[in-house]
A and B are shown apart, each in its own frame.
Chain A
Amino acid sequence: MPALVIRDLYKNFGVIKAVDGISFDINEGEVFGLIGPNAAGKTTTLRLIATLLEPSTGSIEIFGLNILKDSAKIREMISYLPEEAGAYKNLKGIDYLNFMAGFYASNTKFKKEIVERAVEIAKLGERINDCIRNYSKGMVRKLLVARALMHNPKLVILDEPTSGLDVINSLEVRNLIIDYARTGTTVIVSSHNMLEIEFLSHKVAFIHQGKILESGAPAQLRKKYQAENLEQVFVNSIKK
């Protein structure tokens, strides 16, 4: 069963067509990259998948469940990391993880397990016991990635996971995602950084002005457009 099936998806905000009839599938265990410039429709697509927005028309199915009818069940399977996500500044890092674990763990033992896993993923050391308001942007992002991955979701939705981070922090966050993807979880990740997506993804789709221009494995696309990297593929696909 595919992890995600999107068919003829449209999302309008008044006269603005944020998503303009896109369709694509993601198989279970795949890391899928959604690439596009700013305002291409990446965040709207991810918000639709994360059950935050409702499609104007079209359908989204996650592991066979419809996002409109089964949103409650879908929320138990997914994890969404928004682009500009923050954490509760008055809480300590560990308290934040405990709070978020409370939504997924049915008992104390499991809660303890997933918090321990998150602490391991975040790699914040002793600083996990500090108040979040004292964290750097990179530390907050690592905490949020750990939060997104801690309960072993079946589908992880990451919107620009390294946005605004310096080179070192970006690399660390990217490695966290790669390590996690190796466990066989399905990941959909968006970015305007095409090199990053090429590095992370099994399959990619180019989105521009709300439409999917091209999709496939990075190597396959490079070959098709006789390009050295995905940036060139993207430029060529726009010209086409």
Chain B
Amino acid sequence: MQKFFNILKKELKDLLTLKMILPFILSIFILIFVGQVMQSEMGKAVEPINIGIIDNDKTPSSLSLINGLKSSNHIINLMEAVDDTQAVRIAKEQMFSIFMIIPEGYELNLKNKKSAEIRLYSIINSLGIASSIHRASIKNILRILNQQVAESFLKEMSPDLKPEVFWEPIKAKEFVVLKNMIQPGSAAFIISYISTQTVIVPVALLMLIIITGTMIASSIAQEKENKTLETILTVPVSRFTIVLAKMLAAVILAIAFAFFFILAMGSYMASFSSTSTNIPADVQTSGSKINLSLDIGGKILLGLSIFLSIVTALALATLLALFAQDVKDAQTTIMPLTIMILIPYFFALIFDPGTMSLGLKIFIFLIPFSHTFFAFKFLLLGQRLPVLLGIIYLFLFSIGLLIIATKIFSSERILTMKFNFGKVMRRV
């Protein structure tokens, strides 16, 4: 055990170099920075904006329209202009990004049951998210005002007809059935909620597996490059201990990196959710009533699946790194591992196992990492059997790879095996 910790300590020291951790720290800072910028930009979207209005009609109907707009949280500024060109100039001077002209005859048209035109000018100074959200919000206000005018028409024509019945003669009361629970609510919200949740898990997992794989491969290749491998192989310590200590060092650092990455990713994702105001309260309540988080059993299964994926990645990277002659070579040699991770990653983001063809399903689930990438989705839907089967498959796969990796490490092949993957790829 003492020898194991001796190697583990050295490995951690060896891996914790600036060269190794700098790209990771940078990517975390970039993620946090982008998250902050997004949050600030989304914050601007809910801030009230200045809207200019030129009322050339000056009738009770135009006043009602202006009052309707005033009831929103935006700041309404009444303007005077002889024509549209002058109005644009004034709006630009006053820094209004939106202004509206209510032409003369607006009320008359409404009274005659004709379309009453208004002119809405958007001055595009920015292509940011906030700017497009503001324009959408004005459109929304106009939609409500249109509805109000239409309801007043309806009242005149058919006083007994309730407007809500007119607008929605067929009313759907939505229910969601999930994990054997029935709750009133919108399936669209539940699916969108699950999608948001299932983005963060594969991204973190992708990072975790790629980092651990790269670390162990670099660690083994470094021993070859620095000509330290032969020495370490002749000291009185079992080869299995060497492999295990190297793997554990990579896992410890990868978990630490993944932890900080998830925090950064959480900050990035929060920039979207913190300003999300368009989810109806009752729907949110139904979402929380249906337990969308994992219970203890689900968490254990997910944890086990992630752990076995990491072990599989480590064993595979170890196996591939045995062919590498130096660190640079190791980056190319572990390419098959990266491909094996990226395929299920993208599939888990886009596809649902239920909609895949049988052939595609077999192909995807032959890749061991797919089981972990899809595990979270399965568990949220209360399906434990596929996750359990995946864990068994991952366990057998990782044990098989570990045995092969340790056998090679324990034999002379670790010194004699040579395979220039980069050269082969270039030839191909």
Could you tell me which A residues sit within 8 Å of B by CB distance? 13, 47, 50-54, 72, 75-76, 78-82, 84-91, 95, 99-100, 102-104, 144, 147
Verify B6–A99 contact, CB threshold 8 A.
Answer: yes
Instruction: Give the complex CA separation of A65 and B10 in angstroms.
Output: 31
A88 to B230, CA, bound (A): 13
Total CB contacts across the A-B interface at under 8 A: 70
Q: Contact residue range for chain B?
A: 20 to 34
Q: How far is the CA of A102 from the CA of B5 in the complex (A)?
A: 9
| Candidates B9, B228, B234, B238; contact of A52 at CB < 8 Å | B234
Establish whether residues A88 and B226, one from each chain, have CB atoms under 8 Å apart when the complex forms: yes
Query: Which residues of B384-428 are within 8 A (CB) of A?
Result: 411-412, 415-416
Report Cα–Cα, A62/B412, bound state, in Å: 19
Q: Does B13 contact A (CB under 8 A)?
A: yes
Chain A residues lying within 8 Å of B415, measured Cβ to Cβ, are 47, 52-53
In the bound complex, CA of A189 to CA of B230 (Å): 17
- Contact (Cβ within 8 A) A88 B6: no
Q: How far is the CB of A140 from chain B (nearest CB, A)?
A: 10
A to B CB contacts below 8 Å, 18 in the list: A51-B234, A52-B233, A53-B412, A72-B238, A76-B236, A80-B231, A85-B230, A85-B231, A88-B10, A89-B226, A90-B13, A91-B10, A99-B6, A99-B10, A103-B235, A103-B237, A144-B231, A147-B231
**Are B226 and A52 within 8 A (Cβ)?**
no
The interface residues of chain B lying within 8 Å CB-to-CB of A103 are 3, 6, 235-237
Binding site for A on B (CB under 8 A): 2-3, 6, 9-10, 13-14, 17, 226-228, 230-231, 233-238, 411-412, 415-416
Contacts of B412 in A (CB 8 A): 52-54
Residues of A within 8 A of B236 (CB): 72, 75-76, 103-104
Q: Given A72-B238, A82-B230, A86-B227, 5 more contacts at CB 8 Å?
A: A47-B415, A85-B230, A91-B14, A99-B6, A102-B2
Contacts of B9 in A (CB 8 A): 99
Minimal Cβ-Cβ distance residue in A for B6 = A102
What is the minimal beta-carbon distance from B116 to any residue of chain A, in angstroms? 77
Residue numbers in B under 8 Å from A104 (CB-CB): 235-236
Other-chain contact of B231, A13, A82, A90 (Cβ < 8 Å)? A82
5 shortest A-B CB distances, which residue pairs? A102-B6, A86-B227, A86-B226, A103-B235, A75-B236
**Within the complex, what minimum Cβ distance (angstroms) separates A211 from chain B?**
22
A53's nearest neighbour on chain B, judged by CB, is B412
Tell me whether chain A's interface is mostly helix, strand or loop, or mixed.
Answer: loop
In angstroms, Cα B412 to Cα A47, docked, is 10
Contacts of A54 in B (CB 8 A): 411-412
Determine whether the beta carbon of B230 is less than 8 Å from that of A91. no
What are the residues of chain A within 8 A of B226 when measuring CB–CB?
Answer: 86-89
In the bound complex, residues from chain B placing their C-beta under 8 Å from that of A89 are 226
How many whole Å from A92's CB to the nearest CB in chain B? 10
Residues of chain A lying within 8 A (CB to CB) of residue B13: 90-91, 95
A76 CA to B2 CA, complexed, in Å: 15
Contact B416 A75 (CB under 8 A): no
In the bound assembly, the distance between CA atoms of A84 and B226 in angstroms comes to 9
Q: B9, B13, B230: which has the most chain A beta carbons within 10 Å?
A: B230
| Distance, CA A51 to CA B237, complexed state (A) | 13
Task: Give CA–CA (A79, B415) in the complex, Å.
Answer: 18
Q: In the bound complex, what is the Cα–Cα distance between A87 and B416 (angstroms)?
A: 21
Could you tell me the distance between the alpha carbons of A144 and B230 in the complex, rounded to whole angstroms?
13
Shortest distance between the CB of A78 and any CB in chain B (Å): 7
Q: What B residues does A79 contact at CB under 8 A?
A: 234
Nearest-neighbour CB distance to chain B for A20, whole angstroms, equals: 18
Q: Chain A's nearest CB lies how many Å from the CB of B82?
A: 77
CB distance from A34 to the nearest CB of B (A): 17
Bound together, the chains give a CA A51 to CA B238 distance in angstroms of 12
Q: How far is the CA of A72 from the CA of B410 in the complex (A)?
A: 11
A75 touches B234 (CB 8 A): yes
Query: Chain B's nearest CB lies how many Å from the CB of A21?
Result: 19
**In the complex, are the beta carbons of B10 and A52 less than 8 A apart?**
no
A90 to chain B, nearest CB (A): 5
Per a CB cutoff under 8 Å, which of A50, A53, A88, A102 touches B228? Answer: A88
- Chain B nearest CB, measured from A108 CB (Å): 10
In the complex, the chain A residue whose C-beta lies closest to that of B5 is: A102
CB distance from A36 to the nearest CB of B (A): 20
By the criterion CB–CB under 8 Å, are B227 and A80 in contact? Answer: no
Q: How far is the CB of A131 from chain B (nearest CB, A)?
A: 11
How far in angstroms is the closest Cβ of chain B from A173?
Answer: 16
Cα–Cα distance between A75 and B6 once the two chains are bound (Å): 17
Inter-subunit contact A85/B228 (CB<8 Å): yes
| B238→A50 contact, CB < 8 A | no
B416 in contact with A80 (CB, 8 Å): no
Q: State the Cβ distance, B238 to closest chain A Cβ, in Å.
A: 7
A82 to B234, CA, bound (A): 10
Q: Give the contacting residue for B227; candidates A51, A76, A84, A90; CB below 8 A.
A: A84
In the complex, are the beta carbons of B227 and A85 less than 8 A apart?
A: yes
Complex-state Cα separation, A126 to B412, whole angstroms: 38
Find out whether the CB atom of A86 lies under 8 angstroms from the CB atom of B228: yes
Highest count of chain A CB atoms <10 Å: which of B3, B237, B412: B412
Q: Is the CB of A82 within 8 A of B6?
A: no
Instruction: Report the Cα distance A76→B226, complex, angstroms.
Output: 24
> Using Cβ atoms and an 8 Å threshold, which residues of chain A touch B230?
47, 50, 52, 80, 82, 85
B17's partner among A51, A90, A102 (CB-CB below 8 A) is A90
* Interfacial chain B residues near A52, Cβ < 8 Å: 230, 233-234, 412, 415
A contact residues around B228 at 8 Å (CB):
85-88
In angstroms, Cα B228 to Cα A90, docked, is 13
Residues of B with C-beta under 8 A to A47: 230, 415
Alpha-carbon distance A51/B236, docked complex (angstroms): 11
**Given A52-B412, A82-B227, does the pair A102, B3 have CB atoms closer than 8 Å?**
yes
* CA A76 to CA B107, docked complex, whole Å: 102
A147 to B231, CA, bound (A): 10
